[in-house]
Amino acid sequence: MFRSNRSPAQAAGIVLLMLAIFLIDAFTPLDVAIAVLYVVVVLCATNVWSRRGVLVTGVACVLLTVAAFAINHGPELSRSLARCVVSMSAVGITTLLALAGLTATESLRRRSESLRISEALLASTQRLSRTSSFRFHSVRGITWWSDEAARIYALAPSEPPTIERMLTRCHPDDLPLVQEAIARVRRGEPSIELRHRLRMEDGAIKHVHIISSLTAASNGDFEYLGALMDVSAAHEAAEALHRAQAQLAHVTRVTTLGELAASIAHEVNQPLAAVATNGNACLRWLNRATPDLGEARMALDRILDDTRRASEVIRRIRALARRGDTQRRELDLNQVLNDTVALVQRELSAQRISLRLDQGRELPAVLGDAVQLQQVLINLVMNAMQAIAAMPRGAAGGRRIDVATGLDPEGRVMVTVADTGPGLSEAQAGRLFEAFYTTKEDGMGMGLAICRSIVEAHGGRICALPQEDGRGARIAFSLPPARVSA
């Protein structure tokens, strides 16, 4: 009928106490309100039974009070009736109060259990996501942090959090960043965000991301609530992705050099042939009965010019073929374009494709890696050449590639490569920069995807634009200037 929360001995004791009170009230001549002692029975029942058990106990006590009154005083009312009513009232009120107390206790227990489960879930979630929470005061410092924060800093959860302990884990190179963030907290700025490194006792490096916001301010003391995230895994994944992209870009550059092998050989062969010609001429001028030193000197000057030309070609090839870290500096995009055209010029001539340059004047420099940007330009020009090669001879529009540089409406340096090939459908243009998507039968679908990753890594954008005359394709990318004018 009702659930017992305690031992059977306690329940039996309550029943015996209730029977004892009944026997004394019903069969002794004591002229006192013995039934009031049932209040003790009801109160004891609250520690043994649930709400239903307490309610049954209270009703039983009332019925026993009435029964004892009837047995002891007979069917007629007497002056003891008042004590009986008082006893029943006391028992009834106590029962109601006990039930209300049990309801409040049960509600508090459920809330406490819910809070315990929430705290356990929060701790598990923080541990799985490597995210912790903390409270920080500009005057008192760190006043609380979760167990996960202590784990991230490799400190015992029992140790009180302090700024000093936090700073001992900070990487020496990032210490000024952390101290500047603390200074911002003391100024009461509305939000603080910081990424820095931790150096553990064993020398291991962790990368953390801190976000906090101002929640209260009183008498110059600013309170912040924030989250501390261990982003080491994400940082390592990003580094691995960067290395993979760099390796893929390197393979693509080498593949492009293979496609341009004939052009490269021609570019190198031309100055070497000129060196041989001028060298023979120089010998003839010197072998005369009266050496013509002036002509010999001029021949030697031409040899030096040709060797510089050959050296420059080799330098550009080595730059494309080298495998190394990104080296960003201020660049003249027009000069990068000129170097690119020099590499593909022979290929253009072999396929009888004309290239027209329209370079904007006094363009601002961009901050970038010359090799990577040259790779983008070569890829776009080679794609345009392959698109035109697929067109029949004598097709409308001719065989021409237009490359233009200038500024877009936002003041960014823009490069546009347009061809007179078959063009792109709307569906093709929408997927053009997806990895492994290609419009060529023998294509890998990685060239333009790599171009997009390079351009976006430089803070730029790349897209396919509609041709004004509806013929061919037009690809444009834009890069922010290295220095933004005030």
For 426-470, how does the pLDDT look when each residue is reduced to its tens digit (9 = 90+)?
777 777 777 666 666 555 566 777 788 888 888 899 888 877 666
* Per-residue pLDDT band at 197 (split at 50, 70, 90): very high
Query: Can you give the pTM of this predicted structure?
Result: 0.46
CA-wise closest residue to 39 among 53, 51, 28, 54: 54
Written as one letter, the residue type at 410 is: E
Pick the more confident residue, 13 or 124: 13
Rounded to an integer, the average pLDDT of 304-331 is 69
Q: 190 and 226 in contact (C-beta within 8 Å)? A: no
Rounded to an integer, the average pLDDT of 190-208 is 91
DSSP β-bridge partners for residue 225:
135, 213
> 173-196 burial string, b = 16+ CB within 10 Å, else e?
ebeeebeebbebbeeeeeebebeb
Rounded to an integer, the average pLDDT of 409-430 is 84
Per-residue pLDDT, 362: 86
pLDDT over 90 at 290, yes or no: no
> How far apart are the C-alpha atoms of 353 and 417, rounded to whole Å?
14
Rounded to an integer, the average pLDDT of 265-283 is 73
Per-residue pLDDT, 278: 76
Mean pLDDT over all residues of the chain? 80
Distance set, CA 370 to CA 319, 352, 376, 406, 420 (Å): 9, 28, 10, 18, 28
pLDDT over 70 at 485, yes or no: no
> How far apart are the C-alpha atoms of 356 and 468, rounded to whole Å?
17
